[in-house]
Amino acid sequence: MADLQDDIPTTTEVGEDDILPDAPPAVAVPLEPGRPRPEQPDAELLAQAHTLLAEHPVADGYSGLPWALRHLSWYDLQLGEAAVDTDVPRLREGHVGALFWSLHLPEGRGGESPVEAALEQLDLVRTVIEAHPEGLRLVRTAGQIIDARNCGRVAVVLGPAPGAVVADSLGILRILRDLGLRVLTLAGTVWAGASGLTRFGEEVVREMNRLGVLADVSGASPATAERTLALSKTPVLCSRSAARALRPHPANLPDELLVALGEAKGLCMVPLTAEQTGPTVPDVADHLDHVRDVAGPECVGLSGTYDSGVVHPRDLADASRYPHLIAELLRRGWSGTELSLLTWGNVQRVLRSADFTARAAQHRRDTSTARIGDLGTP
Amino acid sequence: MTAVAALDEARALLREFPVVDGHNDLPWALRKHAGYDLDALDIAGDQREHLHTDLPRLREGGVGAQYWSVYVPAEQPEPVAATLEQIDCVRRMLDRYPARLAPALTAADMEAARRDGRVASLMGAEGGHSIANSLGTLRGLYALGVRYMTLTHNSNVDWADSATDEPNTGGLSAFGREVVREMNRLGMLVDLSHVAATTMRDALDAASAPVIFSHSSARAVCDHPRNVPDDVLERLPANGGVAMVTFVPKFVLQAAVEWTAAADENMRAHGLHHLDTSPEAMKIHRAFEERSPRPVATVSTVADHLDHMREVAGIDHLGIGGDYDGTAFTPDGLNDVSGYPNLLAELLDRGWSKADLAKLTWQNAVRVLGAAEDVARDLRATRAPSLATIESLDGTRG
């Protein structure tokens, strides 16, 4: 057995710096009477978190797994894979029931065009999921997520993809939707820049509504985010945004945008990254508290951002750690209803709404033939 | 048999075994002329003015299945992106005319469409540039419904030589052979129209499923590189593939080959590119055409090719690929997609039996797709998707 174990790739292959050391175990420090140490929720809260998550698992809004796997020559997610933060055993341990697989690529990666890269990523996703039929299932709709869950599979939803993948073409948007894409990040395109959506950008959002592709305004300019919120017939999401009031990161949302998002019943998915939320579980919980208080409990969700090359807070090093976070929220008095919305219900609502809006829009609206040239470039 | 009787019989035959056409460039024509606005060029009506193809004429021509080409030029800045737009165009056509066009991915779908009198609509990509040296993209095109890929168009790709470019690879490279194997694994037909004879031979060596020539005629009848040489036609019985005869005059009529060469030379002598269509260039071209009239191909020219191909490859390895809306000129009697009955009448005249014609129009092409599906089913049981890259197999030449 020892020989075989030697062959297991080490974690240094992917994202060697993406884990902060866990907090020291509770036994190392004498427990004070009264409240438990904030970073080590007591066993009772942890057990309660497991019970709650068993009922309402986590729908994780962002996983970088496709890119992380692309350059691994060998991996097995079913039995456990040390080279990445996400595998089936840890997804089960963390009670992850659904996972959005991001098609975003690391910065500064040359070569292929965004469209070619997207096709490569989609192909890889299909291959990976076909290779793990007992653990993973590719799904498109909220209903299929439930089906997958009833069959004991982790549902994989495709997206977000960077807006550049549609190459300024509604035809390509439709094709990528047909290949399973459900979320598109608007930022980084010529039609969703600093001054907001261009006329073509507005047509992209309308066509996304018609197709059931969710708009992700994380990283978009305030003008783009506001216009998208106003225009979209279905809730908009932020795939990786925390509260700027607590931490001044450009992708974090200022309170006025959180209020607007709450009014539009959108979804702010708070990323578990040290950079955006802070290095500890209570830091993450502070953001979740804030987003819940400002936008509302129906408008807050979770983005693990595992395998995307970012540094995670202590005690949240991989996909198995969600119970720790939920235990902290229990300690802070989150109700069972609020927690079920946070982990599962809100994502279900947003996807269902998008599915419904798409069906309605297809009766009302024809396929858009608009081209970026016709509607002007900025 | 009188000409009228032959034509009636041809039409009756086509009602039972309609034409499977291997190549039609309507999507590119819709892109170029209408920016994909299907209202602007509505093929439900008569588009004789603008197109070779519309739904009434497909019916008149007895077309029962069509491989719509999702061609984009190799010079296109983003060929993969443009190919996806072409696929989107075909899908929108299928959504728009569901009573006449039936989406088809398999031989069984083709038969189902024939039973309910719709045109089975398949897609073919024309040129390896549409996959940008990526097997992942190849699988993406398959997932989107593309059921054949021509390995090259008019110019070489990094892994295969074209018939109309300078030899570079000398056939297929190692990655090129891997593309063929992956296509076999998927069940996507390998199309050898447009490729160099060296590539045809290499592909036949590498293939474990039948190949097609989606629109090529016989080189022994008309010496043009776009046509298939006899030694390759002779290999089709062993491979099981089909060569689908094309009608393009400058490929099928020797006089037209020479005339085209002279016309191109004339353009170059005036310092113009031979495909230039600017008003000035067209004026020079018209003057040339007045001095030396364009030779006209006929139904009989195409039938000569089929007679020869039948002799060399056999009746089980023939098909039809008109290349409508992909060519400026067409033979007399085969002017648009309504013309196929004329070709059948000519062949009846030449003594082809009904059984022969059923193979030519329908059965061979359907058999080949079904055979590719069977091979794919076997291969998928033992072979995982290929992760090869052009760098890993051919070095960094890509």
A369 vs B contacts (CB less than 8 Å): 35-38
Residue B276: its pLDDT value, please? Answer: 81
Rounded to the nearest 5°, which phi and psi values hold at A139? -130, 165
Tell which residue, A318, A251, A242, A317, has the closest CA to residue A285: A242
Give the Å distances, CA to CA, from A322 to A26, A45, A301: 18, 13, 12
Least confident of A76-85, A261-270, B83-92, B176-185: A76-85
Q: Is B396 part of a structural domain of the chain?
A: no
Chain B contact probe: residue of A74, A210, A369 with most B CBs at under 10 A: A369
Contact (CB, 8 A) for B212 and B184: no
Q: Is A47 part of a structural domain of the chain?
A: no
Full-model pTM:
0.92
Mean pLDDT value across residues B126-136: 97
Q: pLDDT by residue (tens digit) across A133-152?
A: 999 999 999 999 999 999 99
Asked whether residue B277 falls in the same domain as residue B326, the answer is: no
Nearest CA distance, B387 vs chain A (angstrom): 9
Binned at pLDDT 50, 70 and 90, residue A10 comes out as very low
Binned at pLDDT 50, 70 and 90, residue A375 comes out as confident
Residue A1: its pLDDT value, please? Answer: 41
Residue A3: its pLDDT value, please? Answer: 45
Mean pLDDT of chain B: 96
Residue A19: its pLDDT value, please? Answer: 58
Q: Which residue has the tokens 């996959």?
A: B131
Q: Which residue has the tokens 């076909």?
A: A130
What single letter denotes the amino acid at residue A107?
Answer: E
Asked whether residue B178 falls in the same domain as residue B209, the answer is: yes
Q: Where in the sequence is the domain holding B265, given as residue range(s)? A: 257-291
Q: Is B154 part of a structural domain of the chain?
A: yes
pLDDT above 90 for A222: yes
Assess whether B166 carries a catalytic annotation: no
Mean pLDDT value across residues B259-263: 93
Both structure tokens of A91: 């997804």
Which residue of A113, A122, A371 is in closest CB contact with B80?
A113
Q: Where in the sequence is the domain holding A297, given as residue range(s)? A: 59-363
Asked whether residue B287 falls in the same domain as residue B318, the answer is: no
Asked whether residue B328 falls in the same domain as residue B263, the answer is: no
Could you give the CA distance from residue A20 to residue A319 in angstroms, rounded to a whole number?
Answer: 14
Residue B132: its pLDDT value, please? Answer: 95
Residue B382: its pLDDT value, please? Answer: 95
Residue B112: its pLDDT value, please? Answer: 98
Residue A17: its pLDDT value, please? Answer: 52
User: Which residues touch A373 (CB under 8 Å, ≥6 apart)?
Assistant: none
Q: pLDDT by residue (tens digit) across B14-49?
A: 999 999 999 999 999 999 999 999 999 999 999 999
- ipTM of this complex prediction, to 2 decimal places: 0.92
Residue A351: its pLDDT value, please? Answer: 98
Residue A231: its pLDDT value, please? Answer: 97
CA–chain centroid gap for B376, Å, is 22
**% pLDDT > 70, chain B:** 99
Tell which residue, B71, B89, B85, has the closest CA to residue B23: B71
Chain B contact probe: residue of A69, A71, A119, A124 with most B CBs at under 10 A: A119
Nearest CA distance, A113 vs chain B (angstrom): 8
Q: Is A2 part of a structural domain of the chain?
A: no
Interchain proximity B88–A119, CB inside 8 Å: no
Which residue of B84, B95, B385 is in closest CB contact with A171?
B84
Residue B282: its pLDDT value, please? Answer: 87
Q: Is B398 part of a structural domain of the chain?
A: no
Determine if the peptide bond prior to A160 is cis (ω within 30°). yes
Among residues B21, B109, B126, B178, the one annotated as catalytic is B126
Mean pLDDT value across residues A197-223: 97
Assess whether B194 carries a catalytic annotation: yes
Binned at pLDDT 50, 70 and 90, residue B247 comes out as very high
Q: pLDDT by residue (tens digit) across B155-176?
A: 999 999 999 999 999 999 999 9
pLDDT above 60 for B371: yes
Return the biggest CA–CA distance within chain B.
Answer: 63
The dihedral formed by the CA atoms of B2, B3, B9 and B15, expressed in degrees to the nearest 10: -170
Could you give the CA distance from residue B128 to residue B249 in angstroms, rounded to a whole number?
Answer: 25
Instruction: Give the length of chain B.
Output: 398
What single letter denotes the amino acid at residue B154?
Answer: N
pLDDT above 90 for A70: no
Mean pLDDT value across residues A166-188: 96
Asked whether residue B143 falls in the same domain as residue B200, the answer is: yes
User: Residue A250 is part of a domain; what is its CATH number?
Assistant: 3.20.20.140
Helical spans, DSSP H, in A106-221: 114-131, 142-150, 170-178, 199-211
Interchain proximity A175–B87, CB inside 8 Å: yes
Q: Is A52 part of a structural domain of the chain?
A: no
Backbone torsion region of residue A170, taken as left when φ is above 0, otherwise alpha when ψ lies between -120 and 50, otherwise beta: alpha
Q: Is A14 part of a structural domain of the chain?
A: no
Query: Which residues is B126 bridged to in the sheet?
Result: B150
The domain tally of chain A equals 1
CA–chain centroid gap for B126, Å, is 8
Question: Which of residues B242, B268, B291 is at a domain's end?
Answer: B291
Mean pLDDT value across residues B244-249: 97
Least confident of A74-88, A293-307, B49-63: A74-88
pLDDT above 80 for A12: no
Q: pLDDT by residue (tens digit) across A270-316?
A: 999 999 999 999 999 999 999 999 999 999 999 999 999 999 999 99
Q: Is A26 part of a structural domain of the chain?
A: no
Mean pLDDT of chain A: 90
Binned at pLDDT 50, 70 and 90, residue A15 comes out as very low
User: Residue B42 is part of a domain; what is its CATH number?
Assistant: 3.20.20.140
Contact (CB, 8 A) for A118 and A103: yes
The domain tally of chain B equals 2
Beta strands in B188-301 (DSSP E): 189-191, 211-213, 242-245
Least confident of B2-6, B36-40, B53-57: B2-6
Mean pLDDT value across residues A324-345: 97
**% pLDDT > 70, chain A:** 87
Residue B277: its pLDDT value, please? Answer: 79
Least confident of A248-257, B127-136, B285-294: B285-294
Residue A162: which H helix or E strand, with range?
Answer: strand A161-162
3-state helix, strand, coil in chain B (%, to 5): 50, 15, 35
Assess whether B323 carries a catalytic annotation: yes
Asked whether residue B123 falls in the same domain as residue B92, the answer is: yes
Least confident of A364-378, B196-210, B244-258, B270-284: A364-378
Asked whether residue B275 falls in the same domain as residue B336, the answer is: no
Least confident of A10-24, A48-62, B253-267: A10-24
Q: Is B116 part of a structural domain of the chain?
A: yes
pLDDT above 80 for A7: no
Mean pLDDT value across residues A341-348: 98
Which residue of B78, B87, B136 is in closest CB contact with A124?
B136
Residue A92: its pLDDT value, please? Answer: 97
Q: pLDDT by residue (tens digit) across B198-230?
A: 999 999 999 999 999 999 999 999 999 999 999
Residue A2: its pLDDT value, please? Answer: 43
CB atoms within 10 A of CB A275: 17
Interchain proximity B84–A123, CB inside 8 Å: no
